[in-house]
Structure 1
């Protein structure tokens, strides 16, 4: 009889432990939710429910890529061609970097938080730091019904973070390139500031045959970029965002044989973008204003 009681007690204890273990395991179980996409239909939907080819770069993927800006992220996207006019993927004066989906040069619409950035054919994706990006959605194929004739090839929507983390980043590369970024996040105010020194590159252009005393080549003499992007959540659903960037480039023309410098070309451009955005209870509205000085 004592043995039966002991067995019964052991069984009760074992059953209790097993029940607790199962309950604990259920608490720790991870669930994978379908990715939500907004660009393809202008409303938030699961990616499996969207009748379009959509590629999404999450915040984690962007962080692991070590990309410096939105242009760097999009360089490795299948079906997307990128072209830079300046050194190291930069724009230069009125010639900005280009992003083309499926080869359609004037049919790729670039959005930032749903607001068109290239209605005038100009946009500087290298001025959007990855520290401020939550995700990038790339819709391949015609989007004219939703976004107009600018989207015949596709749409790229860069969605920025509502809140940033406190980080400091330092990077260096060849040609003497250096990059510094600082981001600070608070309850209603976020800011990311960056400085990039682009370094120097010799003999960027070539020549056919043997050089003569008149043959010239180009060097990238020096260049830098300063940028600030900040947002302020003024009210519930109402956010003000301002981005500023200043780019400088200096190209040198020299004789191929003697190395004598014959000409300097200097470019500088400053861009400002102001955005007031309301998004609450299904109601969305945007007011934006931008300036460019070349």
Structure 2
């Protein structure tokens, strides 16, 4: 079975969610998804057909069938998911970031890992997350701001990790220095995943970019990527049926070279990005759910001219966010009530020492500069009432109050939402937001 979205051009944004036989479509357009339950769209478990949102659920095994090893490169084949990169191995010049978004809305896609925000300033590195760690991915297209805040106005991608791992080992090699090593280890209550991906030098990839002054002589330059590596470590420990701990470490190290016409190196950049994600999750199976988390991203960007390797330009930044989320669900045959509260703190600092003159190997360095630390505290209260009006029709009223206190200023935001859904039959439903 599959779930198909057919939008109608109505002012209320009505949409039909259809479930049909995959054989009814051509092989090239097949999209497989789990027909069952999702937890992301409404904050509690509900079937896709009864959810007033465009939700698609992909199992980790389904995503592996794309041939990709990581979440981002598997999702890029799915309808409505936009993925951009500038070079092989998901490299991009200077920033090193590939971009994943829903419905083409830049900066409006919230990435979650087990329901916890995993983005740093709208940047998330799902290209570093091995599919061996993934149980399923729930993709909600459209605004999710009431439950998740304004970062989710384009949609939500929630990666749900496995509680248990099967023992496995994978080794692969290709040309251009491509290497891929991964292992998964299941040991009772603990699971561990390890991965390394490597790529060799590409040589010149661009047209002429301009000129650089090397020892007083203007030289045309081009751009290419040098060696690159991506490392991943995942650890999961299940204390019991209620309490679990999850930790992930991701590291990507890219090199970028400015090259002469003869492929000789003129200037060399390193990009070192390290991310830590730690979560402690409690669920009592009776509607109470609590998560405490700590995320950190550390970036190092040194570069130098080949003729003056001792004259080093550099930048370092550190971005931390940590917090907790608590929610409780009460339900009976006709009603569901969700109440929640979350709090978070973000810290950011950047320091650097740049060349005084751009594109000149003889340039001196500017004085040391530091920006921050900048901080932000956020507090959110949210609630939701889900009422079954009949066997076919549900109405959902949601609201959220955000209180933001930061060095850049303070603001409050109240976000209400009304949703109505009617099941037309066992395979179709009609909803309005």
TM-score by length of 2: 0.56
Q: CA deviation at 1:59?
A: 2.6
Larger Rg: 1
- Pair 1:86–1:239, CA change in 2 (3 A): farther
Aligned-residue offset at 1:141: 1.0
Partner of 1:154: 155
Partner residue in 2 for 1:9: none
Instruction: Tell me, yes or no, if the aligned pair for 2:256 and 2:270 is still in contact at 8 Å.
Output: yes
Q: CA deviation at 1:171?
A: 2.4
Any unmatched runs of 5+ in structure 1? 1-32
* Equivalent of residue 266 in structure 2, options 238, 241, 262: 262
Query: By percentage of residues, which structure has more helix?
Result: 1
What TM-score results when the alignment is normalised by the length of structure 1?
Answer: 0.82
Partner of 1:138: 139
Of 243, 252, 263, the match for 2:248: 243
Q: Distance in 1 between matches of 2:88 and 2:243?
A: 38
Query: Does the Cα contact within 8 Å between 1:179 and 1:195 map onto a contact in 2?
Result: yes
Q: Is the 8 A contact 1:244 1:273 kept in 2?
A: yes
Q: Match for 2:225 among 220, 225, 231? A: 220
SS of 1:181's equivalent in the other structure is strand
1:92-103 alignment, distance < 5 Å: 94-103=95-104
Structure that is richer in strand per residue? 2
Mark the CA change 1:96 to 1:54 in structure 2 (over 3 Å): closer, same or farther.
same
- CA offset digits 1:210-255 (Å, max 9, x no partner): xxx8321112110112221011112331111111122211112111
Deviating more after overlay: 236-245 vs 188-197 = 236-245
Deviations 1:114-156 (A, max 9, x none): 1111263232112210000011111111111221111111110
Decide whether aligned partners of structure 1 residues 262 and 83 sit closer, same or farther in structure 2, where only a CA change above 3 A counts: same
Contact 2:93–2:256 (CA under 8 A) maintained in structure 1: no
CA-CA distance at 1:82 after TM superposition = 1.1
- Answer whether contact 1:109 1:154 (CA < 8 A) is retained: yes
Aligned to 1:233: 238
> How many positions carry a matched residue from both structures?
258
**Hey, what's the Cα distance between the residues in 1 that align with 2:194 and 2:253?**
17
Q: 1: CA distance between counterparts of 2:145 and 2:266?
A: 49
Determine if contact 1:202/1:220 at 8 Å carries over to the other structure: yes
Kindly tell me: are residues 90 and 44 of structure 1, through their superposed partners in 2, closer, same or farther at Cα, counting changes over 3 Å? farther
Question: What is the CA-CA distance between 1:186 and the residue it aligns to?
Answer: 2.3
CA contact (8 A) 1:191 1:231 kept: yes
Q: Does 2:280 align with 1:273?
A: no
**Aligned mates of 1:221, 1:236 — CA distance in 2:** 46
In structure 2, stretches of 5+ residues that fail to align are 1-33, 211-217, 300-433
1:37 counterpart = 2:38: yes
- List per-residue Cα deviations over 1:252-279 (Å, max 9, x = no partner): 21111x3332111111122111111112
Question: What's the C-alpha RMSD, in Å, of the aligned pairs?
Answer: 2.1
What SS is found at the alignment partner of 1:235?
coil
